[in-house]
Amino acid sequence: MNSKYNPLFQPFTFASGVKVDNRLVMAPMTTNSSFENGMVTTEEKEYYKRRVAGLGAVVTSCAQVMENGRFAGSLSAASDNRIDSLSKLAKTIQNEGPKAILQIFHVGRLGSKRTLRGEQPVSASAVPLDVEGAEVPRELSNKEVHELIDAFGQATRRAIQAGFDGIELHGANNYMIQQFFSPHSNRREDQWGGSLEKRMNFPLAVVQAAKEAIQTYADKPFIFGYRISPEEIKEPGITIEDTLQLIAKLKEQGLDYIHVSTNEWTQASVRDPKATKPVVQRIQESVGADFPIIGVGSIITPDDAVAAMELGLPLVAIGRELVIEPDWVQKVKLGNETAIRKKIKPEYREDLTLPDAMWEYIESRPGWFPIV
């Protein structure tokens, strides 16, 4: 292996005490391939088995905490009868070496009556996503907000009982936790909305519920992460200043890491065209070197990964590139990084072990993946 890639393969220990073999994390990628009831399919297990060996940790595709928080093909952590299924996924990952982290979420206003079996989507407020044809969600009552917070705690318990090494709260990509934090989707005037401080109440309450579940049920160190989208380009929308204040609060809660969701790891502010500093670097500098930030977004080559770490990030996540090149880690270790695939060709499909539903999803979004 080229010595310049040594930083990628140094061990790392989280604040919780969990140690990972290296700094490489598989980013959560939607497979759309679970059974309709949210149970893990053989295709999904094969998808993970094919590409996780050699990584430090794997964050799974998202699992709903309530059944009205699902999308087509999403995993379920919404009931105890899903624990055995989740356990099979955890073991599939762990048997290849990495730590297994279950990402948990609620789809919120990104849901649809079609995927929710005729039920209206719910959100912080009755404000639809600003895209053509978006369904208007129903605003959650105060009682329902408390039930949802508890559901995140119960899903955390199930992840522990299923044998996962950690959980990641999905507070990014316009899903429910972000919907409560965003002034676009949250127009409430109660304890859950209005000022920035009140818009932080829901994510912080979810963190507390998950934290209590970990303290109650985990009998060994357990990774606790949070994924965040740093900004929204829409108006009104989340600003980087809002995010820095939330992250400062999250740091106080004893999280192991913040996973910053961006399309490009070099991405500067999407709201300020004059900004040049990568937003992940700005966040890492704001919270300090003692609190890990995971950078993600178009990390394609090992040189990209090393350059991201040189921004001060202790961990880097690889998403789409691990879909394209399941042998990424092995090729880097063998000094064969020039052979890393950067595009998908039809003849690669069988080797990539992509579930049919995932392949269909990729093909339906031109430009998301480089397909030849």
Q: What is the per-residue pLDDT across 141-154, written as a single tens digit (0 to 9) for each?
A: 999 999 999 999 99
Measure the CA–CA gap between 353 and 332, rounded to whole angstroms.
Answer: 21
Mean pLDDT of 258-277: 95
All residues at 6 or more sequence positions from 87 whose CB lies less than 8 Å from its CB, including other chains: 162, 163
pLDDT at 355 over 90: yes
Q: Per-residue confidence at 290, pLDDT binned at 50, 70, 90?
A: very high
Residue 285 carries which side chain, given as an amino acid letter?
A: E
pLDDT at 127 over 90: yes
Mean pLDDT of 276-297: 96
Pick the CATH number of 3-363 from 3.40.50.10860, 3.40.50.620, 3.20.20.70, 3.90.1170.50: 3.20.20.70
Q: Per-residue confidence at 349, pLDDT binned at 50, 70, 90?
A: confident
Q: Per-residue confidence at 346, pLDDT binned at 50, 70, 90?
A: confident
Q: Per-residue confidence at 342, pLDDT binned at 50, 70, 90?
A: very high
**pLDDT value at residue 209:** 98
Mean pLDDT of 80-100: 98
The H or E element containing residue 171 is strand 166-171
Pick from 323, 334, 275, 268: which is nearest to 299 by CA? 323
Measure the CA–CA gap between 166 and 189, rounded to whole angstroms.
Answer: 34
Helical residues (DSSP H) of 107-239, grouped into ranges: 142-161, 176-181, 196-199, 201-217
Written as six digits, the tokens of 51 are: 């590409």
189 or 367, which is more confident: 189
pLDDT at 133 over 90: no
The residue assigned the tokens 């031109």 is 366
Q: Per-residue confidence at 94, pLDDT binned at 50, 70, 90?
A: very high
All residues at 6 or more sequence positions from 244 whose CB lies less than 8 Å from its CB, including other chains: 283, 286
Mean pLDDT of 289-312: 97
Pick from 133, 132, 106, 138: which is nearest to 119 by CA? 138
Mean pLDDT of 229-241: 96
The residues annotated with a catalytic role in the active site are 175
* CA 169 distance to own-chain centroid: 7
What pairs with residue 294 in β-bridges?
259, 315
**pLDDT value at residue 50:** 98
